[in-house]
Amino acid sequence: MAQLIADRRDIDFVLHEVLNVEELSRHERFSEFNRKTVDMVVSEARNFAVKEMIPTWKEGDDQGCKFEAGKVIIPESFHKLYQLFNDGEWLGMNEDPEWGGQGMPKSVSSAASEYFNGANFPFMMYPALTHGAGKLVEEFGTPEQKNTYLKNLYTGKWTGTMLLTEAGAGSDVGALETTARKNADGTYSITGSKIFISGGDHELVENIIHPVLARIEGAPAGTKGISLFLVPKYRVNADGSIGAFNDVICTGIEHKMGIHGNATCSLTLGGSGQCIGTLLGEENKGMKAMFVMMNEARLLVGMQGYACATTAYQYAVNYAKERIQGANLLKPNEGGVPIIQHPDVRRQLLTMKSYVEAMRTLLYFIGYCNDMIATSEDQAVRDKYQGLIEILTPVAKGYVTDKAFEVCNHAIQVYGGYGFIEEYPVAQLMRDCRITMIYEGTNGIQAMDLLGRKLGMNKGAVVMDLMGEMKKTIRAAKEHDVLAPYTEKVGVALEKLGETAQHLGKTASSDKVLTAFAHAYPFLEVTGDAIMAWLLLWRATVAAAKQGSAKSKDIPFYDGIIKSLEFFTSSVLPVTMGKMEAIKATNGACVEISEDSFNG
């Protein structure tokens, strides 16, 4: 079976033809990242993903993780892979060279991330969470904390996690019960139990660093009384060597539907009263710190889900071109043909294609917004791009993972009976993908974030900036007659999205707040659809400009980009319009129905 992950041609298209990332190298910060370097990075990432990562993916699923005699055993092959990943210094792609990073633009590292997560996202969670923990230390740590932990995290010598969830505190983080008691030496004794801790325990490295949310004794209830602590599995001596066990005990691992290769642990902290942590940031400001990490984590989850989709799409197209089954409808007597000739298979493939392309462009664009912030001196420009990241985050997490799951689901259907068989890759892709709709805030919570926080952010200025970007694309598209019918449809949809947003925002501030929030998720859906349409139009505008002078091998590629737009605006956007009608009607049935009426 060919080992496929992502479409390199389309990755190059987004990086170089849509976003022109080479322009970033004009700025000192990214001066090393000229076209040649960027291409080399992407090629290296692809080679590493194909040669080293893919072979461990299914094995990791089959072996899973085991909990034996108090120890967590992760898939055998992950040990060597982890070493190779660190040898390649991939963990710190975007980090400041000061901390051992490569200082790469985030738009560019998005491509590497697509390959890595597409190849083995359960494995990738170990370095990704390590990176997240490192970010917290970098942003909120004291010089001592940084010296103790940061380099060891960013080089992957130690791994990191994120300890939020408890049995009674999932979506409602403020309900947590883990406590911290201040000791005479300024450290804190931590007591509590955490669940669903990805990479919470294993023997991959000599130490694991846990950022832990806990409540200092006497602190206010709810999120206002939550502080963040740094709790290592083994204490670290003054000389940096590994010290005593820090009373962080794994009590079990979860048996999950997917991502079997990643250990999801229950941890008990301070069961023997010997768990010591140091405060990270300020007392009672833990949630704020956590949100810094959470926003990045949400974008990561979007990438994880998306990566399943891009891989599933590649497999499905490849399979559909090779699998012979059934005659062409127009030639019923000429025997079996590749199933890509069947209209319903094509419908599914083009559905997958248009979503995958638009989602890729969205995620890379968000990386690009980060790069614009990193390279701009102008505060207004920085604010604008920061706002775009903020409003696009619930879409990149909540909408993208939902659509990614649908794409994986289509891939199974394209494979037919083989799709249900675990020897083929698509079943696992769907199982792995499913968690991305849940963790780091369920997609319902992403929808509430969009409606409740992002829509009114900066008095609506963020929405206006996003609309401004969209209108810029429409103006550019109008230069191309070939795009005219689609451009018009995108324009009409954006107009209607604006009305829908205004209506729903108003309803959310009225006494119909519950009914408004019952439509938060559909609103996330239509917003996502509109953003997909915008990005497909942007892509098609670039393609249309190049079509005339394209090399012959690029002609079907550019044509395919315009076909994605045509399909999406003709077959998906009318459905989006219907969804907006439903939101504008804002029916209250699901709020009004009595609890007793749900079952007899």
Which of 46, 431, 454, 539 binds its own copies (CB under 8 A)? It is 431
Smallest gap from residue 582 Cβ to its own copies (A):
4
The yes or no reply on residue 329 touching its own copies (CB under 8 A) is yes
497 binds its own copies (CB under 8 A): no
Parallel/antiparallel/unpaired status of strands 264-269 and 188-198: antiparallel
Q: Are 555 and 547 in contact (CB under 8 A)?
A: yes
Cα–Cα distance, 211 to 215 (Å, whole number): 13
Taking residues 226 to 255 in sequence order and writing x for each that binds its own copies by CB under 8 A, - otherwise, the string is ----------------------------xx
Per-residue tokens: 564: 């994605």
Binding segment for its own copies (CB under 8 A), chosen from 149-157, 286-294, 385-393, 438-446, is: 438-446
Q: Which of 188, 368, 517, 534 binds its own copies (CB under 8 A)?
A: 517
Q: Please identify, using beta-carbon distances, which residue of 461 and 590 lies nearer to its own copies.
A: 590
Least Å from the CB of residue 313 to its own copies:
8
Q: Are 283 and 218 in contact (CB under 8 A)?
A: no
Which CB sits closer to its own copies, 389 or 562? 562
Give one DSSP letter per residue of 349-376, joined into a string. HHHHHHHHHHHHHHHHHHHHHHHHHHH-
Cβ(565)–Cβ(540) below 8 Å: yes
Helix or strand run (H / E) with residue 231: strand 226-232
Q: CA nearest 530: which of 482, 452, 583? A: 583
In the structure encoding, which two tokens stand for residue 116, read together?
Answer: 């890595």
Among 183, 237, 325, 502, binds its own copies (CB under 8 A): 325
- Site residues for its own copies, 389-408, by CB under 8 A, read 405
- Please, what is the end-to-end C-alpha distance for the chain in angstroms? 51
How long a stretch of residues is the chain?
600
Q: How many CA atoms lie within 13 A of 297 on its CB side?
A: 29
For the bound state, the minimum distance from the C-beta of residue 549 to its own copies, rounded and expressed in Å, comes to 18
All residues at 6 or more sequence positions from 455 whose CB lies less than 8 Å from its CB, including other chains: 391, 463, 501, 504, 505
Q: Which of residues 130-169 bind its own copies (CB under 8 A)?
A: 165, 168
Quote the tokens at residue 404: 């990614």
Would you give the distance in Å from CA 342 to the centre of its chain?
33
Residue number, 25 or 401, with CB nearest to its own copies: 401
Residue span binding its own copies (CB under 8 A) among the ranges 9-17, 45-53, 144-152, 476-484: 9-17
Minimum distance, C-beta of residue 430 to its own copies, in the bound complex (Å): 8
For residue 265, give every residue at least 6 positions away whose Cβ sits within 8 Å of its Cβ, in sequence order, or none.
72, 197, 198, 199, 200, 201, 250, 252, 253, 254
Nearer to its own copies, 244 or 514 (CB): 514
* 8 is a site residue for its own copies (CB under 8 A): yes
447 binds its own copies (CB under 8 A): yes
State the nearest-atom distance from the C-beta of 325 to its own copies, in Å: 5
CA 40/CA 61 separation, integer angstroms: 31
Catalytic residues: 440
Q: Which of residues 529-588 bind its own copies (CB under 8 A)?
A: 556-557, 559-560, 563, 566-567, 570-572, 574-579, 581-582, 585, 587
Q: Which residue lies nearer to its own copies by CB, 88 or 444?
A: 444
- Assess 514 for contact with its own copies (CB under 8 A): yes
CB 495 within 8 Å of CB 370: no
Does residue 596 touch its own copies according to CB under 8 A? yes
Residues 162-221 binding its own copies (CB under 8 A) are 165, 168, 170-172, 175, 196
Out of 55, 100, 444, 460, point to the residue binding its own copies (CB under 8 A): 444
At its nearest, how many Å lie between its own copies and the CB of residue 55? Answer: 18
How many Cβ atoms from other residues are within 10 Å of residue 359's Cβ?
Answer: 29
437 binds its own copies (CB under 8 A): yes
- 209 versus 561: smaller Cβ distance to its own copies: 561
Residue closer to its own copies by CB (options 74, 349) is 349
Report the nearest approach of its own copies to the CB of residue 64 (Å).
11
| CA–CA distances in Å: residue 321 to residues 29, 189, 317, 540, 567 | 44, 60, 6, 25, 20
H-run or E-run covering 71: strand 71-73
CB atoms within 10 A of CB 97: 10
Cα 87 to Cα 44: distance, rounded to the nearest angstrom = 13
Return the residues of window 351-370 that contact its own copies according to CB under 8 A: 353
Binder among 185, 239, 423, 481 for its own copies (CB under 8 A): 423
Distance between CA atoms of 539 and 537, rounded to whole angstroms? Answer: 5
Q: Nearest approach, Cβ of 187 to its own copies (angstroms)?
A: 31
Based on the shown chain and the rule CB under 8 A, indicate whether residue 330 belongs to the binding site for its own copies: yes
Shortest distance (Å) from residue 331 CB to its own copies? 11
Among 350, 374, 545, 550, binds its own copies (CB under 8 A): 350
Q: State the Rg of the chain over Cα.
A: 24
> If you write DSSP's letter for every residue of 81-149 in order, what string do you get?
HHHHHHHTT-TTTTS-GGGT-----HHHHHHHHHHHHHHHHHHHHHHHHHHHHHHHHHHH--HHHIIII
Which listed residue (442, 457, 460, 488) binds its own copies by CB under 8 A? 442
Stretch of residues binding its own copies (CB under 8 A), selected from 229-237, 256-264, 365-373, 466-474: 256-264
Measured at the CA of 117, the angle between CA 160 and CA 363, to 5 degrees, comes to 100
Q: Smallest distance from the beta carbon of 439 to its own copies, in angstroms? A: 7
Residues that contact its own copies, how many (by CB under 8 A): 103
How far is residue 145's CA from residue 440's CA, in Å, rounded to a whole number?
A: 25
Q: Which of residues 12-51 bind its own copies (CB under 8 A)?
A: 13
Of the pair 104, 524, the CB lying nearest its own copies is at: 524
Q: Which is nearer to its own copies, 7 or 465 (CB)?
A: 7
- Residue 453 interacts with its own copies (CB under 8 A): yes or no: no
